[in-house]
Amino acid sequence: MSVSHKLLALAGNTFGRNRLNILIYHQVFAERDTMRPSEPTAAEFDWQMKLIGEYYTPLSLDEALKGLDSNSLPNNAICVTFDDGYLNNLTVAEPILAKYNIPATGYVATAFSDGVNMFNDRILDLIEDEKFSDFDLTSVELGRVEVSDSASRIALAHRLIGKLKYLHFDDRMTRVDQIYQDNNASEYPARMMSVKDIKSLAETGVEIGAHTRDHPILRTLTLDAQQQQLMDAKQTLENIVNEPIKHFAYPNGKLNDDYSTETVELVKSVGFASAVSTHWGVSDSTSDQYQLKRFTPWDSSELKFHLRLRLNQLGFIQ
């Protein structure tokens, strides 16, 4: 243990008591993914989990909620979560979690367990394909767009994702279907867990949570449609894992932008015990357990990762 890490651990033990860090991940890649450069590789995730195991107290969400309820969290309490339901959560991340004995929760959007990729991944995979140097995007009012390198491909993909993100989920997929058709593109390999994979992940001890059925921006739907998204996902996952599904993650996860206070009440009424957002910060005994905050530093060095995680624990990152 280096002096710097010791000092950071001392700060957490002294000033960060009864505060819960929740880490948010989506994917962990065996090697760096060009179009998703912020997602950790297996090597990076390995040292992150090793650090978590050495300097923090990893908890399941159930354990953490009990600690929050009774204001009795262990020092340096932390939870690890994954959103969406990617296959590499099972194939790449889970063996590393098991290596360091770290519990985790995986929030699954159930509509994508039959081989269909999410709209954003369909865009990223298409724009990454080097068979194409320019794209016909007239169907989304962008005309023809040329790309010349990885940076221009990433920029174009995120421009497209931003343009489509807040459309109805059916409209998003229809627009992407049209882009594929206009460019004579074929679908790319499935990235999400199948029903069998979800069951396998649950059998390793990773708790399965719900992330809606179609990953919509819930705020854009009627309350009845929101409730249906919640109920369908919960019931589908309970049928898969044969266990109660107790925890939920809001798609995109920002209050007012992506979900509303009415959505929070729906999450409660459907029978979830907790819900997580993507607002940065920590949670304590005063926190709303249906709007728990999450944060993950994306630093490439262990010391910077540890430092920013401590700053979050101490309330300096908002």
* Domain residue limits at 9: 3-114+190-313
Q: What is the pLDDT confidence band of residue 16, given thresholds at 50, 70 and 90?
A: low
Q: What dihedral angle (degrees, nearest 10) is formed by the CA atoms of 115, 253, 169, 166? A: -140
Contact 249, 272 (CB under 8 A): no
The pLDDT score that the predictor gives to residue 318 is: 66
The total number of structural domains in the chain stands at: 2
Q: Do residues 177 and 218 share a domain?
A: no
Domain harbouring 280, CATH code: 3.20.20.370
Predicted model pTM: 0.96
Contact 190, 90 (CB under 8 A): no
- Token match 């860090």: residue? 21
Of 131, 150, 182, the residue at which a domain comes to its end is 182
Residue 10 class from Cβ within 10 Å (0-12 exposed, 13-18 middle, 19+ buried)? exposed
Q: Is residue 283 part of a domain?
A: yes
When the pLDDT of each residue in the chain is averaged and rounded to a whole number, the result is 95
316: tokens are 């300096």
Q: Do residues 108 and 171 share a domain?
A: no
Q: Is residue 218 part of a domain?
A: yes
Q: Is residue 318 part of a domain?
A: no
Q: Do residues 100 and 217 share a domain?
A: yes
Q: What is the pLDDT confidence band of residue 18, given thresholds at 50, 70 and 90?
A: confident
